[in-house]
Amino acid sequence: MAHSTPATSDHLPLSPSASNLTNGKPLTNGKPLTNGKSLTNGNSNKYNQPESTHHHIWLITGPAGCGKSTVAQFIAKTMNLPYIEGDEYHPTANIDKMAKGIPLSDADRWDWLTNLREESIRKIQAGAQGVVLTCSALKRKYRDVIRVAPYYSHDVLVHFVYLHAPEEVLIARVGARKGHYMGANMVHSQCLILEPPGKEETDVITVDVSASVEEVEAEALAKIHEAIKRELINDS
């Protein structure tokens, strides 16, 4: 994937950079994608979710080993939505760095984050009802990069599903995972910079992932359904 010169670490990349998929143009002209029609039709619809008039970015977030990929694949499959694996969008330089145990800097992350936002919007514009995206999004300013998605595509709602567990649980899970560039030695650096979402971040659903995979998946799905129902109430 081609990447432009990274944005500097002291500003948020609110505008698309040269590498963005839209050539710097907003992805919509401010028109809702649905013309006000419902995107789904009750719980038995093909999306397996409550009726919604919005498109969604469901960002599954948290440090390495918290279960982002595991939970995201389940949610995407259950809700019949495309899955964007954030790890696949890192430039080689980032992967090489992480594989050597060197934490990424803010500057290393900006283009990655904007690309994830762009790819999410592109999939929605191509017809997806929503997307399920994995990204550690450890700091609030990283989450804010995704939060500006509605600026480019007005009816998109961004939700974060924040998976958390004690550091020792994360270290054990990353240590047991095979074939991933991220070593267990990286978990501590991630926990050091982690800014857990505060109460003011009202678009965040929090799930304790100390429980079994099945329990965590069920809780995340139930909380997503509740969030969609809350939207319906707010819209009415």
Ligand X SMILES: O=C(O)[C@H](O)[C@@H](O)[C@H](O)[C@H](O)COP(=O)(O)O
Alpha-carbon span 7 to 3, nearest angstrom:
11
- In angstroms, give the least distance from the CB of 148 to ligand X: 18
Near ligand ADP by CB under 6 A: residue from 66, 81, 158, 227? 66
The SS3 call for residue 131 is strand
In the complex, least distance from residue 80 CB atom to ligand X, rounded to whole angstroms: 24
Q: Which is nearer to ligand ADP, 56 or 68 (CB)?
A: 68
Q: Tell me the residue type at 7.
A: A
To the nearest whole angstrom, how small is the minimum distance from the Cβ of residue 170 to ligand ADP? 8
Q: What does the block give as tokens for 85?
A: 């694996």
Single residue of 28, 34, 48, 70 touching ligand ADP by CB under 6 A = 70
Amino acid residing at 179: G
Work out what residue 86 binds among ligand X, ligand ADP, none; the CB cut-off runs from 5 to 8 Å by kind: ligand X
- Give the number of other Cβ atoms within 10 Å of residue 70's Cβ: 17
The SS3 call for residue 67 is coil
Positions that interact with ligand X (CB under 6 A): 64, 68, 86-87, 104, 109, 136, 138, 180, 182, 190
Question: Least CB distance from residue 167 to ligand ADP, whole Å?
Answer: 13
The 10 Å CB-count burial string (b at 16+, else e) for 180-192 is: eebbbebbebbbe
Backbone torsions φ then ψ of 211, nearest 5 degrees: -80, 180
Q: What is the largest CA-CA distance in the chain?
A: 51
Q: Contact between 67 and ligand ADP (CB under 6 A)?
A: yes
Q: Which of residues 108-137 bind ligand ADP (CB under 6 A)?
A: 134
Q: Which residues contact 98 (CB under 8 A, 6 or more apart)?
A: 90, 104, 181, 182, 186
Which of 64, 75, 138, 227 is close enough to bind ligand ADP by CB under 6 A? 64
For tokens 């013309």, name the residue: 35
Which tokens in the block code for residue 97?
């760095």
**Could you say which of 13, 173, 197, 231 contacts ligand ADP (CB under 6 A)?**
173
If the CB atoms of residues 39 and 220 are measured against ligand ADP, the closer one turns out to be 220
Q: Does 69 bind ligand ADP (CB under 6 A)?
A: yes
Residues that bind ligand ADP (CB under 6 A): 64-70, 134, 173, 176-177, 209, 212-213, 216
